Amino acid sequence: MSKKDTVTLIDNSTGKEIELPILHPTNGISTIDVRQLYRKLGYFTYDPGFLSTASCHSSITYLDGLNGELQYGGYPIEQLADHSNFLEVCYLLLEGELPTKEEFAEFKTIITEHTMLHEALKRFYSGFRRDAHPMAIMVGVVGALSAFYHDEIDIHDPKHRMIAAHQLIAKMPTIAAWSYRYSHGLPFEYPRNHLDYASNFLHMMFSLPTVAYVPDPVFVKALDLIFILHADHEQNASTSTVRLTGSSEANPFAAISAGIASLWGPAHGGANEAVIRMLTDIVESDNDVEYYIERAKNKDDRFRLMGFGHRIYKNYDPRARIIRKTCHELLTGLGSSNEYSDLFKAAMELEQIALEDEYFISRNLYPNVDFYSGIILLAMGVPLNMFTVIFAVARTVGWVSHWDEMIQDPESRIGRPRQLYVGALPRDYPKDSD
Ligand code: SDX
């Protein structure tokens, strides 16, 4: 190992020094391999929230937070958004290469033929209150899939892993749409094999036995784009949850259920729902946008500008740029009188003021993917509490791709972080209390 590929660490309290290897990526930031640190120097590293920690090596997705770049398998998200479709992106994330025409046709058939659910799964829905949040239903029903497929899976068999991945990608839209139907007292609509992925989801969400339903092609295209943009995002909280859960060799359906639970939080995938609640408050309240900007800057106020800021992007989230354009096009197509234009105008005003404000500039806070996506979903008639569900449907391919990559990684082992213990020192149980 040449000197230039190492760092030297000197423990000033003992004078002891060690060399740690630098691991170089194909793209992006190099890492210091600290695996020998504890054995050689007797220290743990401390990094709450993992701001400076690489948990694994991966070839699936690359983010450049400083330049606002996102690539799936090396392909820029802007090009995939313009030229690809969600199922082709699913193949790319799972296999690492774009499919040939024949490979895509075969993959599409496999996914289409796995969209049905075991009829017994229907009964899981009736156990939920009518007003249960669909994300609670998703966590429960997806976790329950492990009861249906548990015994058949040998997670060390690549074929079994790919079948589980195909089942999850195929069944998530059905499970998601049925969580909507259940909460609205509507009969469950079955998938239709002649429809594409996004059309099928809209069909299962909105078709009624009483009237023929044809998905609006504008909405189908916008939803397919939303699926592409949300498909994967490196080691985010929910993907790291899936990896950590899967590292114990838990059933993949249980691991994905854990990912759904993590995504639900408003700091993560729940932000799209929180953005609309914030924009609606702005539009309906007497307070102007500056009032909300000042609240977001006030340390004593827990209020944050939802849809703003990102752990990685210290520039505009490239997905936000794409989705802002689609949002504008879709609303223009609906005509300026539609009720969502006010939300879009409030979002643009908020963005403009924030991007010129020292507080946001100095902290590199820009709109993220959640800032505009909700307005599109609202315009499609998707209710607020289904926004994160749609994020989960899209992110399932990212979760299963990372799970599959982790299981086949020879370096992979059960994740078990250590801690900086700051609790009580050893003490005896008080004798006099016997
Ligand atoms: C997603 O990780 C991923 O890749 C996630 C995701 C994916 O595709 O998987 O991209 C999807 O989750 C997008 C993020 C959606 N969440 C939100 O929009 C919620 C609002 N955003 C924030 O909660 C926050 O920006 C986070 C959670 C996104 C990032 O938090 P960090 O990296 O821990 O940053 P931080 O909280 O340390 O903030 C740094 C500073 C702080 O101020 P100071 O202490 O330095 O004075 O910026 C401030 C924060 O108070 N800040 C905000 C803010 N976000 C950060 N202040 C006001 N409004 C905000 N939105």
Q: Say if residue 2's pLDDT is above 80.
A: no
Cβ(306) – ligand 1 distance below 6 Å:
yes
Give the Cα separation of 379 and 55 in Å (integer).
39
Catalytic residue from among 224, 232, 317, 370: 370
Among candidates 407, 113, 94, 109, which has minimal Cα distance to 246?
A: 407
Cβ(24) – ligand 1 distance below 6 Å:
no
CA of 125 to the centre of ligand 1 (A): 34
317 is catalytic: no
Q: Say if residue 357's pLDDT is above 90.
A: yes
Give the Cα separation of 245 and 192 in Å (integer).
33
Give the Cα separation of 400 and 93 in Å (integer).
9
Question: Mind listing the pLDDT tens digit for each residue in 39-59?
Answer: 999 999 999 999 999 999 999
Question: Mind listing the pLDDT tens digit for each residue in 260-280?
Answer: 999 999 999 999 999 999 999
Question: Mind listing the pLDDT tens digit for each residue in 234-257?
Answer: 999 999 999 999 999 999 999 999
Cβ(308) – ligand 1 distance below 6 Å:
yes
310 is catalytic: yes
- The protein residue whose alpha carbon is closest to atom 32 in ligand 1 is 311
Give the Cα separation of 218 and 224 in Å (integer).
10
Q: What is the DSSP code (8-state) at residue 190? A: P
Catalytic residue from among 133, 203, 233, 310: 310
Give the Cα separation of 87 and 107 in Å (integer).
8
Q: Say if residue 226's pLDDT is above 80.
A: yes
pLDDT score of 286: 85
Give the Cα separation of 346 and 283 in Å (integer).
7
pLDDT score of 151: 73
SS3 call for 410: coil
Contacts of 65 (CB under 8 A, 6+ apart): 310, 311, 312, 313, 314, 315
Give the Cα separation of 262 and 242 in Å (integer).
9
Q: What residues does 63 pair with on adjacent strands? A: 70
SS3 call for 33: coil
Q: Say if residue 434's pLDDT is above 90.
A: no
Give the Cα separation of 127 and 114 in Å (integer).
25
Question: Mind listing the pLDDT tens digit for each residue in 105-123?
Answer: 999 999 999 999 999 999 9
For residues 53 and 47, the answer to whether their CB atoms sit within 8 Å is yes
Query: For the chain, how many residues are written?
Result: 434
pLDDT score of 336: 64
Q: Is 102 exposed, middle or buried (0-12, 13-18, 19+ CB in 10 A)?
A: exposed
Among candidates 196, 165, 170, which has minimal Cα distance to 85?
A: 196
Mean of per-residue pLDDT scores for the chain: 95
For residues 399 and 262, the answer to whether their CB atoms sit within 8 Å is no
Question: Mind listing the pLDDT tens digit for each residue in 298-343?
Answer: 999 999 999 999 999 998 999 999 999 999 999 888 886 677 889 9
Give the Cα separation of 417 and 130 in Å (integer).
39
Q: Tell me the mean pLDDT in the region 79-98.
A: 98
CA of 267 to the centre of ligand 1 (A): 7
Q: Locate 351 and state its tokens.
A: 């963005």
Name the packing angle between helices 101-112 and 158-183 (round to 10°). 50
β pairing state of 61-64 and 31-32:
unpaired
Q: What φ, ψ does residue 264 adopt, rounded to 5°? A: -60, -30
pLDDT score of 287: 87
pLDDT score of 333: 87
Q: Tell me the mean pLDDT in the region 368-378.
A: 93
User: Alpha helix locations (H) across 380-430?
Assistant: 387-407
Amino acid making up residue 250: A
Question: Mind listing the pLDDT tens digit for each residue in 128-183?
Answer: 999 999 999 999 999 999 888 777 789 999 999 999 999 999 999 999 999 999 99
End-to-end CA gap in the chain? 61
Question: Mind listing the pLDDT tens digit for each residue in 187-225?
Answer: 999 999 999 999 999 999 999 999 989 999 999 999 999
Cβ(311) – ligand 1 distance below 6 Å:
yes
Angle at 364 between CA 368 and CA 419, to 5 degrees: 85
